Structure 1
Amino acid sequence: MDPTTIQLVVMVASMAISSLMRPKAQKPKPASLSDFDMPVPEEGTPQCVFFGDCWTGDWQVLSFGRFRTSKIKSKSGK
């Protein structure tokens, strides 16, 4: 056999073996509310109210987003 043919056979065989031996992909776990780590103030912490564009050295997160869980519904045809 020709050396080029041997190299092609070895390459195809190694590709087939590597595709059969690779681990199966795991489905990612959906995000939950415990995955988010937002700093929130403790009860009784004074709050500042700004109107317009202002810069401040201190900051706090009073609320964030609307994180709810609900199933995704899809319509398929009529």
Structure 2
Amino acid sequence: MVFNFIAQLAIGLVLSAVSFVLSPRPKVEKPTAAGLDDFSLPTAEEGRPIPVVFGTVLITGPNVVWAGDLKVDPIRKKGGKK
């Protein structure tokens, strides 16, 4: 009875190891930093037509007068404790 349990446990461990080795590995690409060109931000341009909207409509690329101070801060990686 104890031998049967140990044999089943060993077979289960071997099969788990084999399935781990044979499983396909996903191809992971190195992530790239997002720039301001990757986003669709509101712009302010002279001479751009102002859309007239009736009801609830999603407007892509609205023309705004002021959106605040837009700046980019790089992410700095801090080292571990020494």
TM-score range, shorter chain: 0.3 to 0.5
- Superposition TM-score, scaled by structure 1 size: 0.48
- Superposition TM-score, scaled by structure 2 size: 0.46
Q: Which has the higher contact order (CA 8 A, sep 6+)?
A: 1
